[in-house]
Amino acid sequence: MLRSTAVFSAMTLLSRVAGYVRDALQAHLFGTSAAVSAFVIAYRIPNYLRRIFAEGSFSSAFVPVLSELQGKGDERALQDFVDHVAGALLAAVVLVTGLGVLLAPWIARLFLLFAGEHNEGLVPLTAEMLRITFPYLTFISMTALAGAVLNTFRHFGLPALTPVLHNLAVIAAMVLLARWFEVPEKALAWGVVAAGAMQLAVLWPAMARLGVRPRLRFGMRHPGVRRVARLMLPTIFSSSVAQVNLLVGTVFASLLVAEAQSWLYYSDRLTELPLGLFGVAVGTVILPQLSRHHADADTGGYSKALDWGLRIVLLVGLPAALGLALLAEPLTATLFLHGEFSPRDTAMVGYALVAMSAGIPTFMLSKVLLPAFYARQDTRTPMRAAVRTVIANVALTVAIVTPLWWWRVPYAHAGIAAATAIAGVLNAWLLWRALRREGVYVAQPGWGRWMLRILAALAVMTLAVLAVRHQVGAWAALDWKARVAWLLAAVGAGAGAYGATLVALGLRPRHLRH
């Protein structure tokens, strides 16, 4: 599992580098304009649905059943199952895509429900971009099916690498198409659609090399389709609770200045780096493994695998969250402060990033805890936790943002990020408590020593990072080369101090292996 996680993370790192180039170019060309906010909404909605029909709810229900069939060795039954699920998934996403295109004006109005005069003009532009971006859902959902099949067969590299194509397509659209539009930001929407088509063109043929070539069959009464649908429905909330909370934040951000959508978007993109590199990587790798342990009735192996996943994400997630919080403004300034992206934008993204960072470790824990339920084909328990989490997020957003909005606090959008982070803590705690109560997860020996090592290393890391920051002062006043040099120095000092402290306290590579 460690080797598979390393492969997945390495491929994801390439995607994140390409993603940074995309975001930096977007910030340089368009800044945080109202049209960028329209694109953020138009992209976020099909992207949320992607979590349902793609790697979220669908994969969580599909992979355990596929792993069970693979373990039985019945190739004909496996092929028949994949054929019918592929046909059913395509029919569902084409229907949803068509409805999304038709209802785009009403959807845009819903997510700009509280729009005032300052961003009223966003509604028609958002609707227009929604019509462009919605077909992305069809492409990326079928891509996710191919990726789930490859992951089940322990081929993690290519599915993790294809998001690079997404970023390259959007970059190409900005460079080649933007100048041809009256609203240049529309190029972003067209790039998203092209990205989905490119990823599908790469992953779909890869299944044939495994001997699995889906032939689309549209029998909705097929037992495998009905089983996946039955498992999938409760996971719609549970596997995409972070996206639901982001959508809640999107609605509340319409209360604020038009740039608030963009500030939250850039902070979210930065928090996605550790989540994608490690949280999603461990969760993706561990789901087939847990499914096999459950199918073999190997409760000891199941618990040990889950324990390994929890330890690994805390080892990485805690310093990632602390590092982002300590270097929020320097990181934002170094990556985005140029062109149309202003010093004010830098400060506002930094506020949101600090608030969101608090939730990163628990977001990552949830990525590991959810597969523990899905591997056992228990989708109802995570659903109940997700419903409570979303209700808490709405209540927290209202409680935090309303007074900030009322008093015209300029960083009120950070309250939305803070509410999302707190809700993430609640979600992870509810999932962990349920596993413990059911006796499914038994903590392995050594947790006390593990956490003491991490906490001591975090303390030393904080001192090292602050020592470098103290030497710089106002980060925005530096030129670009100086920002890069000092940021590398701060990150290097923090990472070096964290790693050296862990080694000094006795952590060795063997402790990272399952």
Enumerate the domain spans of the chain. Answer: 2-444, 455-514
CA 475, 479, 484, 488 torsion: positive or negative? negative
Residue 379 has pLDDT above 60, yes or no: yes
31-45, 207-221, 281-295, 389-403: which has the highest mean pLDDT? 389-403
Contact 8, 156 (CB under 8 A): yes
Give the mean pLDDT of the chain: 86
Alpha helices (runs of H) in 375-412, residue ranges in sequence order: 380-406
Residue 160 has pLDDT above 90, yes or no: no
Residue 97 has pLDDT above 80, yes or no: yes
Question: What token pair was written down for 215?
Answer: 């032939």
Query: What tens digit of pLDDT does each residue of 30-83 get?
Result: 887 788 888 988 888 888 787 766 666 777 778 788 888 887 777 888 889 889
Contact 383, 370 (CB under 8 A): no
Residue 115 has pLDDT above 60, yes or no: no
Q: How far apart are CA 194 and CA 172, in angstroms?
A: 10
Nearest residue to 339 via CA among 33, 92, 70: 33
Residue 28 has pLDDT above 70, yes or no: yes
Q: Which amino acid is at 207?
A: M
Residue 514 has pLDDT above 60, yes or no: no
Contact 62, 152 (CB under 8 A): no
- Asked which of 178-192, 276-290, 495-509 is least confident by mean pLDDT, the reply is 276-290
Question: What token pair was written down for 125?
Answer: 């532009």
Residue 327 has pLDDT above 70, yes or no: yes
Q: How far apart are CA 427 and CA 387, in angstroms?
A: 9
Q: How far apart are CA 508 and CA 124, in angstroms?
A: 57
Query: What tens digit of pLDDT does each residue of 211-256 get?
Result: 787 888 887 788 888 888 887 777 666 656 666 676 677 777 777 8
Is 0.85 surpassed by the pTM of this model? no
CA 229, 231, 233, 238 torsion: positive or negative? negative
Residue 501 has pLDDT above 80, yes or no: yes
